[in-house]
Amino acid sequence: MEIYQNKPRIKLSPTVRHGRKFIEVSFDHDGLRLPLSKEEGVQLVGGRAYLPEESSVLAEFFDRYVKMKMAFIDYSAIKGYTPRKEEDSRPPLPAGYLEKLRQVRYSDHTVRVYTGYFRDFQEHFRERDVKAITSDEINGYLLYLIRERNISSCQQNQRINAIKFYYEKVLGQERRCYKVNRAKREKTLPDVLSKEEIKRILDVAAKDLRFFCMFSILYSAGLRISELLELKPGDINESRNLIRVRQGKGKKDRYTLLSRPLVKKLAEYNRLYKPQVWLFERRPGEPFTESIVSKRLKAAAQEAGITKRIYPHLLRHSFATHLLEQGTDIKIVKELMGHNNIKTTERYVHIADTYKSNIKSPLDDLIMEDNEV
C-alpha cells in the first residue's frame, strides 16, 4: 500500500547477546532512536536496539509504531508471530490530526490520550462526516459518556480538549466547541510525603548518585518530571543557588531553588558522569525516560518501607506543602512552582500541617478555664 512507502522501516529478528535472548530491532531512520530508547529494558547499540525477549510484548510494540503511523515493521524473521488480528475497528484519525499534535510538541502521553479519545468520538459518529458534527451533538455525546460510561470530570475535560483540537487547530475553525459544558474537577487534595519519608527514600537512592540527584532535585526544586529530564548542565546556577527551568508547563521559563547541600553532590555527579547534552543522561546524549525514573523511585520507596502510592509528582506536591509549612509566602511558592493561578497553589494550604496546628480551637479556652478552676 502506498501509505507505507515513505515510512521508516523496522526489522525484528531474534538474537542472543551475552547468553540472553533479545529481539533485535534494526531501523533505517535516526528519528526512531528516541522513541526506541524509551522501550522498557532496551539496549541501544549503533543503529540497532535490543529488547529483552522475556519482557517484550510484540503486539504492544506493533501498536506503538504501526498504529501511530511511525514505521513499517518487518517481523518475518520471528517464527510463529503474527500481529493480533483484533484490529482496532475505530476509524483512522483524520488527515493532519496526529501531525498537528506533533507539530505543537505535545508530550507522548498527551498524544496518546488525544488520539485515543478522538477515535472514540469518530467511532460514535461512524456514519457521519466528522466535519459536519454540531456542538449540540457533541454535547449529547458527552452526556452519553457521563451517564452511560460514568467518565470522570478529568476525562470529560480531556475528551473535550481532544475534540476541540481537531476543529480549532487542525481545521482552523474559530472556537468550534467552546459551548460544550465543562465539568468542574473534583476537589481532591494532593498526596504528600513527610520529610522523614523523603529522607528514607534518599538514603536508599544514595547507592546510585544519578538517581539520588534526580530525586533530590524533584523534591528540593519542585520540578515536574518532564522539567527534570529536560534540564541541561548550563541550567544549574551554583553561584546563585538557582535552577533555570526552560519552557515549563505553559511554555514559560522560570527559576526555582537549588539546594545548597545538593551543590556538592551535583559537582561529584558531573565529575563521574560528564553529561554532554542533558543534565541526566542514561547514555551520552540520551536523556533518561520518565518510565525509568518512576520505576526507580517506586523501588527506592518500597525498599525504604513506604507503602503509599509513589510517583515523581508526589515529590513536587511535598515541596510545595513543606515550603508553606515553613511559613514561605504563598506568592513565592506560586512562582517557584510555575503556577499560572494562585488558586492552584492554595490547594497546598489545605494540607500544610503547620497552618492547621497553629490555629487555636475555640474549645481550648473553655477547657483551660475549667482546668484553672
Domains and CATH numbers, the chain: 2-74 (3.30.780.10), 97-170 (1.10.150.130), 195-313 (1.10.443.10)
Question: Catalytic site residue 348?
Answer: yes
What is the 3 state secondary structure string of 329-353?
CHHHHHHHHCCCCHHHHHHHHHHCH
Catalytic residue chosen out of the listed positions 224, 296, 322, 334: 224
Radius of gyration of the chain (CA): 25
- Region of 241 please: left (phi>0), alpha (psi -120 to 50) or beta: left
- Per DSSP, the residues of 305-326 read T--S---THHHHHHHHHHHHHT
Angle between helices 313-325 and 195-205 (to 10 degrees): 140
Catalytic residue chosen out of the listed positions 316, 317, 322, 334: 316
- Read off the pLDDT of residues 17-38 as tens digits, 9 standing for 90 and up: 877 788 898 888 877 888 888 7
When pLDDT is cut at 50, 70 and 90, the band that residue 202 belongs to is very high
- Read off the pLDDT of residues 134-165 as tens digits, 9 standing for 90 and up: 888 888 888 888 888 877 777 888 899 999 99
The mean pLDDT of 359-367, rounded to a whole number, is: 63
Question: Catalytic site residue 224?
Answer: yes
| Residue 212: pLDDT over 80 | yes
pTM above 0.85, yes or no: no
Higher per-residue pLDDT: 78 or 15: 15
Catalytic residue chosen out of the listed positions 11, 249, 265, 282: 249
Task: Determine the Cα–Cα distance for residues 71 and 92; give it in Å rounded to an integer.
Answer: 16
- Read off the pLDDT of residues 63-74 as tens digits, 9 standing for 90 and up: 777 766 677 888
Question: Catalytic site residue 249?
Answer: yes
When pLDDT is cut at 50, 70 and 90, the band that residue 248 belongs to is low
Mean pLDDT of the chain: 82
Question: Catalytic site residue 313?
Answer: yes
| Residue 83: pLDDT over 80 | no
The mean pLDDT of 206-210, rounded to a whole number, is: 93
